[in-house]
A and B are shown apart, each in its own frame.
Chain A
């Protein structure tokens, strides 16, 4: 059982509680999320945002290097090839993948689309998100491969 406080006799308390020992309050422990797999998954999903931000930072530094001239940019590209950067990218990629998949699966929760009298099934909404993801990834690969 979690940490425990008996609330002091307050104004909102019922007559019963005021006359007796008061209310019994339980607190949520800091590590509440460790008790259930679905909650561990939730916390992981939230933490993966850090890696998404990491990617954004790398991109910003890359743009900065680009503006600082060809030499800085070449250095930056060299750094990207170092083992440490590759390891970081690999780890980051896994987390970002987890992030994208969990959020795409949740998309139908926020989007309810009606077509005439029918509600578009959630699986279709998630699928269209995945499709968009594939198309964009395909486009980027194509641009990279043919430029």
Chain B
């Protein structure tokens, strides 16, 4: 059994150096340690200047996503054991600019999320006196999977299209749009379609499928996008064949 393991960590000290470099740290190997434990060990015992984000340590906050040996993962949910004998290479999520060390800039992602209008849109709100909007378990089931997203951005780091076309709205945002489109209380499909049928919307996706592979919450954003494309195609045919039909 290994006593220790080596981590090669991407260091970008934006205040003093212009070029990033990999720094090597030797940490004790523990079978029950995840990558995040090793990073915290480094921060507490070896090098307090290392910067990285984390919060919940249990795969719900979505803040600890990093590239580990080239694959985007939640570092709090990825055991070191998997990478024996090492070394393990840790980098900030690709397709995002790095602010410092393993911390990335996510404003662009936040902007994309709000672009798809992720809230319940009603043509007309019914008055409170008429009671709540009712939803059956089956109707909840229709969109529940897409509501499990924790905004960890692993799918953006996995998607080559996001890398090549930075404007692409991207997997999580489209899955989020579907989360509302498929909600029986929502009436905002059309408004979202206007956003997502643009050049940087669903048709940028060529179904590489890596987003769904890396998603820690089984949201299956690739599936969400393809379903979206299929519904749009159907609507288009409907409007062509039944032009008198309901718009």
B70, A33: Cβ atoms under 8 Å? Answer: no
B193 to chain A, nearest CB (A): 17
A23, B99: Cβ atoms under 8 Å? Answer: yes
B99, A111: Cβ atoms under 8 Å? Answer: no
B163 within 8 A of A: yes
Tell me the complex Cα distance, A13–B20, Å.
Answer: 19
B120 within 8 A of A: no
Number of cross-chain contacts by CB at 8 Å: 83
Tell me the complex Cα distance, A37–B17, Å.
Answer: 36
Partner pick for B97 among A24, A35, A39, A109, CB 8 A cutoff: A24
The 0/1 profile, CB within 8 Å of B marked 1, for residues 19-62 of chain A is 11111111110001101001100100010000000000000000
Partner pick for A21 among B18, B107, B108, B213, CB 8 A cutoff: B18
Number of interface residues of A (CB under 8 A): 32
B15, A24: Cβ atoms under 8 Å? Answer: no
Instruction: Give the chain A neighbours of B142 by CB distance below 8 A.
Output: 114
CB closest residue in chain A, given B15: A20
B98, A24: Cβ atoms under 8 Å? Answer: yes
**Which B12-51 residues have C-beta < 8 A from chain A?**
12, 14-20
A22, B14: Cβ atoms under 8 Å? Answer: yes
Stretch touching chain A among B124-132, B183-191, B202-210: B202-210
Which DSSP category, helix, strand, loop or mixed, fits chain A's interface?
A: mixed
Instruction: Give the chain A neighbours of B108 by CB distance below 8 A.
Output: 12
B97, A42: Cβ atoms under 8 Å? Answer: no
Partner pick for B230 among A4, A14, A110, CB 8 A cutoff: A110
CB closest residue in chain A, given B137: A117
Number of interface residues of B (CB under 8 A): 36
B226 within 8 A of A: yes
Could you jot down 13 A-B contacts, CB within 8 Å?
A7-B97, A12-B108, A14-B105, A16-B99, A20-B15, A23-B97, A23-B98, A24-B20, A25-B97, A25-B98, A28-B160, A109-B222, A109-B226
Tell me the complex Cα distance, A123–B24, Å.
Answer: 46
**Which B148-182 residues have C-beta < 8 A from chain A?**
160, 163-164
The 0/1 profile, CB within 8 Å of B marked 1, for residues 65-91 of chain A is 000000000000000000000000000
A21, B15: Cβ atoms under 8 Å? Answer: yes
Instruction: Give the chain A neighbours of B229 by CB distance below 8 A.
Output: 110
Interface residues of B (CB under 8 A from A): 12, 14-20, 70, 94-95, 97-100, 105, 107-108, 138, 142, 160, 163-164, 206-210, 213, 220, 222-223, 226-227, 229-230
A17 within 8 A of B: yes
Interface residues of A (CB under 8 A from B): 4, 6-7, 12-14, 16-17, 19-28, 32-33, 35, 38-39, 42, 46, 106, 109-112, 114, 117
A128 to chain B, nearest CB (A): 15
Q: Using known A-B contacts A17-B105, A23-B97, A23-B99, determine if residue A46 contacts B70 with beta carbons closer than 8 Å.
A: no
Q: Using known A-B contacts A12-B107, A109-B222, A109-B223, determine if residue A28 contacts B163 with beta carbons closer than 8 Å.
A: yes
Instruction: Give the chain A neighbours of B107 by CB distance below 8 A.
Output: 12, 14
